[in-house]
Amino acid sequence: MSVYDAAIVDTELSKKTSVFGLHLSVVIGIVIGVVIVLILFVLSLCFTAYRRCSSRKAAAKLSHKGGGEITPVVSKEIQEIVHNAAPNHQPVVAQVVPEIQIDIGNVEHKVVFSDRGPSSGESRATCGTETGSVGGSGSLPEVSHLGWGKWYTLRELEAASNGLSDENVIGEGGYGIVYYGMLADNTRIAIKNLLNYKGQAEKEFKVEVEAIGRVRHKNLVRLLGYCVEGAYRMLVYEYVDNGNLDQWLHGDIGEISPLTWEIRMNIIIGTAKGLAYLHEGLEPKVVHRDVKSSNILLDRQWNPKLSDFGLAKLLNSDRPYVTTRVMGTFGYVAPEYACTGMLNEKSDIYSFGILIMEIITGRSPVDYNRPKEEVNLIDWLKMMVGNRKSEEVVDPKLSKRPASKVLKRVILVALRCVDPDAQKRPKVGHVIHMLEAENFLSHDERQIVQDLSSSQRER
């Protein structure tokens, strides 16, 4: 290009355009910048999709660790409610808690270990060995002020989980990533690595440790220990090796479900006993706030264990409720809590009632793939009972149907748990009594059926 041509190009680029009076060269630069940003955004979406796909494949590999039946993998994602929902079970647009992905292999997410002791001004890692085993040695981590459980080092948990590899992922969501691991003594564990989204890792870590750190109950997943090191906040649980209830109810399990009626009743009653311990056996009581099928883990004998206490709230006996931001899973959240943010144990009872219905019917709480009148599980079940079609609601994948009397008893217990008036919902101890009683209260049965029949006629 000649000097003359270059001068012409320079003159053209210096001309002002109609775009805010900017020079042509500036406009071109902005366009190029926008194109680059769009390309990077598309690449980011592709990378995220690839990560999720890899995690699900890894979960499928690990779902049958230890032998036995293969645990079905469910790909559906349930939206999390983080604001007030509409009453009367009307569908709402729920804000989704973001699923934050971080590359554990990145240098900035690693903690550098050193054999030298801390220099002045440096603090030592606050995780490591079991409480009470630390002597005067300066090479060991400091002891937790909590006074219970085992404190694991990051190095220990990385060794147990193959370096927190994708192949060991068994679950992930807005809270973080869960890895399968095996300690040096062959103890199988689940490691929840909390992701620090707006400080959420610190909050959830404290909540879970406070809520179930000292809890020991056969129907609650046991928290074995934890790790606090650098930016890491990790919780270490016993490993429950038969997947979760959501997978067995809604996953690809074939024409006949392995969950017989007896197994389903065992899951319902076992979950209720775990809730009873939280509500009535502790002070302060623990409101779980996220009772749902995917949080019910199952062992090889189909015994249920309630898990994931990241949203739990502690409630003193002198307080009837606590006001908090609405959190939970769409379809399970009690209407009064969704509307007002006022939370107590009756909110858990409502969620448990929905869970009973889900176990009986094999249907999701909300399913937009069904006809309009069947989208909402609770409305559909009320309609069926009101029309005296209770026996038609049973999961078609059950090989053997329950006795009519038993089925009606369980359905009516579920309906009492989801009473729109929270004060009329039974306590969980009463729920257990009703589920185990041979002779259910006939007056309650007649009254509920009569009310539902009347409401159907009014429609």
290 is catalytic: yes
Long-range contacts formed by 405-413: CB under 8 A, 24+ apart? 405/440, 407/360, 408/440, 408/445, 409/434, 409/435, 409/437, 409/440, 409/445, 410/265, 410/268, 410/356, 410/360, 410/435, 411/357, 411/360, 411/381, 411/385, 412/440, 412/444, 412/445, 412/448, 413/353, 413/356
CATH topology of domain 244-458: Transferase(Phosphotransferase); domain 1 (1.10.510)
Q: Are 345 and 312 in contact (CB under 8 A)?
A: no
* d(C-alpha 357, C-alpha 374), whole Å: 13
> How many other CB atoms are found less than 10 A from the CB of residue 414?
25
Residue carrying the six token digits 């790790």: 227
Question: Would you state the structure tokens that stand for residue 167, as one six-digit string?
Answer: 């192949």
pLDDT for residue 77: 39
CATH annotation of 124-238: 3.30.200.20
* d(C-alpha 102, C-alpha 118), whole Å: 29
| Stated pTM of the model | 0.68
Query: Which residues of the chain form CATH 1.10.510.10?
Result: 244-458
**β-strand pairing of 223-229 with 150-151:** parallel
Q: In this structure, which amino acid lies at residue 315? A: L
Query: Which residues of the chain form CATH 3.30.200.20?
Result: 124-238
* d(C-alpha 84, C-alpha 359), whole Å: 27
SS (H, E, C) the chain: CCHHHHHHHHHHHHCECCCCCCEHHHHHHHHHHHHHHHHHHHHHHHHHHHHHHHHHHHHHHHCCCCCCCCCCCCCCCCCEECCCCCCCCCCCCCCCCCCCCCCCCCHHHCCCCCCCCCCCCCCCCCCCCECCCCCCCCCCCCCCCCCCCEECCHHHHHHHCCCCCHHHEEEEECCEEEEEEECCCCCEEEEEEECCCCCHHHHHHHHHHHHHCCCCCCCECCEEEEEEECCEEEEEEECCCCCEHHHHHHCCCCCCCCCCHHHHHHHHHHHHHHHHHHHHCCCCEEECCCCCHHHEEECCCCCEEECCCCCCEEECCCCCCEECCCCEECCCCCHHHHHHCEECHHHHHHHHHHHHHHHHHCCCCECCCCCHHHCEHHHHHHHHHHCCCHHHCCCCCCCCCCCHHHHHHHHHHHHHHCCCCHHHCCCHHHHHHHHHCCCCCHHHHHHHHHHHHHHHHHC
Q: Please pick, among 10, 103, 252, 290, the residue that the annotation labels catalytic.
A: 290
- Give, for all 459 residues of the chain, the pLDDT tens digit: 665 555 555 666 566 666 667 777 777 888 888 889 888 888 877 776 666 555 555 544 554 444 445 556 543 433 444 444 444 444 333 333 332 222 223 323 222 222 333 333 333 333 433 333 323 333 333 334 455 568 899 999 999 999 999 999 988 766 788 999 999 999 999 999 987 655 666 776 777 777 777 778 999 999 898 888 888 888 899 999 999 999 999 998 889 999 999 999 999 999 999 999 999 988 888 999 999 999 999 999 999 999 988 788 888 877 788 888 888 889 999 999 999 999 999 999 999 999 999 999 999 999 999 999 999 999 999 999 999 999 999 999 999 999 999 999 999 999 999 999 999 999 999 999 999 886 555 555 555 555 655 555 555
